[in-house]
Structure 1
């Protein structure tokens, strides 16, 4: 009897889990917001092409944490390099999350970042290529990401602000000419201006990284103009072609006028 009860319970749990599973695909959903926004990003909607065969955008259907939603941009067609990418979150208070420029050594593009999502929203990417502008994206169920409390109190956050770490996921000593898988983490609270101090309950002023450049020697890997939707302590994971330079140089500027520059050796974890 006990075994039959356990089996029945497991069957119910399994059925519930299957019922709650998101669909395998979460394409952009129809809605009125983009009709109001598109004029801010494209002069003529007719120039936008379907980007499903050029850029694959991956994001969770239902986010575990609305303040750190992973977003992966992967070039689908090796023959169509992606020069720039605008990440737009339709329903966020400031829809433009980030505007990226990518260097040749980033091709084919494979790039991940984390963003805040304030309410159920389309996350769309406008990718500029030599063949035109393409739009891809995903619909994500998340809420409260822009106003979610910071993980550290302001004093602790400011004490570590500007620290950076580079990690490679390959261990070879000499990778010149090879594709490499790297991750850069930057300590910065990236306050959105919508969060409250947990003690005073007053709003914390917006303070975020608005400009970022990552170089390999003299070659630009990528640059970013950022907004409030990039997550706290930004993390960027990407693949690039090693040009033999011994380090990556990261320059980050924030809205308070702070400039952080670090030279991060490729050997080991910096």
Structure 2
């Protein structure tokens, strides 16, 4: 994943924490199609360099048009032809750090569907970009109305938010006929954005967020996800995998302050 966009825009969020409540943060709500198109063109250059990004229907985005909670916006990415796709990018154009996640699928992964919860800071286009095995980039787009997701308080003290950090749970559905297993990974982590104010001290809580999550079974990778402040607190990630044998499923994660977390889970038994 290319880092310049995250480094530059996230730095701006740290230096200007009032961004979330300023007029500048809300300007995107009144932008027209031309302004949004220009912003997307700039983001393409920052994230993908000179690679061509074409519009298409390879990946569908399911999000609420108007978010009930801007800090916990559910998103589902569904791939039309999963055999073509090796990776997905999720970009929230007007967030302080637009590149929310980059997911690479391994031999044990199945790209058919990916679910997560994100923060949306203002009215924004959201893009999902599928990277195909032959190197194409195919983008889909949706417009979402939300406000203040990146600066929204968690409703608890910082100490309480940090309790149990790194605890994990994994749920598996019964394997499908084609041996694809739907799984849900839950990680306890506040994913502090650096834009949330401590209501007692009136100081901003330093950013600390999961920046890498890797799921594997034995020597076979399921997926690796690089994330940023746009991923919601206590991430919940739904994905599909193709387990082989009885090796446990291992999750290894790191955060932006050097924290490391890992856990193993028994693989679900195949149904007769």
User: TM-score, structure 2 length as denominator?
Assistant: 0.80
Structure 2 unmatched ranges of 5 or more: 1-32
Q: In 2, distance between residues paired with 1:183 and 1:35?
A: 34
Contact 1:192–1:207 (Cα < 8 Å) also in 2: yes
The CA deviation at 1:50 is: 2.1
2:69 and 2:261 map into 1 onto residues whose CA distance is 28
Task: Verify the 8 A CA contact 1:177 1:244 in the aligned structure 2.
Answer: no
Higher-Rg structure is: 1
Report how far residue 120 of structure 1 moved.
Answer: 0.5
Superposed CA RMSD: 2.0
- Report what 1:221 is aligned to: 222
Q: 1:55 Cα shift?
A: 1.2
Is 2:103–2:223's contact at 8 Å kept on the other side of the alignment? yes
Indicate whether 1:43 and 2:44 are aligned.
Answer: no
C-alpha contact (below 8 Å) 2:197/2:205 kept by paired residues: yes
**Alpha carbons of 1:119 and 1:225: their partners in 2 closer, same or farther (altered >3 Å)?**
same
Tell me if structure 2 keeps the 8 A contact 1:103–1:220.
Answer: yes
Whether the aligned pair in 2 keeps the contact of 1:66 and 1:145 (CA below 8 Å) is yes
Q: How many residue pairs get matched?
A: 234
Q: 1:235 to 1:136 in 2, by over 3 A?
A: same
For 1:25, the equivalent position in structure 2 comes to none
Of 95, 102, 118 in structure 1, the residue corresponding to residue 98 of structure 2 is 95
> How far apart in 2 are the matches of 1:206 and 1:58?
28
* More off after superposition, 130-139 vs 103-112: 103-112
CA displacement at 1:263 relative to structure 2: 0.7
* Cα displacement (A) at 1:108: 4.5
Contact 1:177 1:242 in 2 (8 A): no
User: 1:258 corresponds to which residue?
Assistant: 259
Cα offset for 1:152?
3.0
Looking at structure 2, the residues matched to 107 and 85 of structure 1 have their Cα atoms a distance apart, in angstroms, of 12
How far, CA to CA, are the matches of 2:114 and 2:205 in structure 1? Answer: 30
Q: Could you say which residue in structure 1 is the equivalent of 2:65? A: 61
> Which digits, 9 at most, give the CA deviation of each residue in 1:235-263, with x for residues without a partner?
10112222123421000101111110111
**Deviation per residue, 1:150-175 (Å, 9 max, x gap):** 143211222210000001132x7xx8
- Report the secondary structure of 1:85's partner residue: strand
Q: State the alpha-carbon separation in 2 of the partners of residues 250 and 97 from structure 1.
A: 20
Match of 2:124 in 1: 121
- Structure 2 counterpart of 1:144, from 145, 148, 152: 148
Q: What residue number does 2:10 align with?
A: none
1:107 is paired with a residue whose SS is strand
* Deviation beyond 4 Å, 4+ runs, structure 1: none
Cα 1:40–1:243 change in 2 (3 A) is same
The unaligned stretches of length 5 or more in structure 1 are: 1-28
Q: CA deviation at 1:100?
A: 1.0
1:191 is matched with 192
Find 1:158's aligned residue among 138, 162, 167: 162
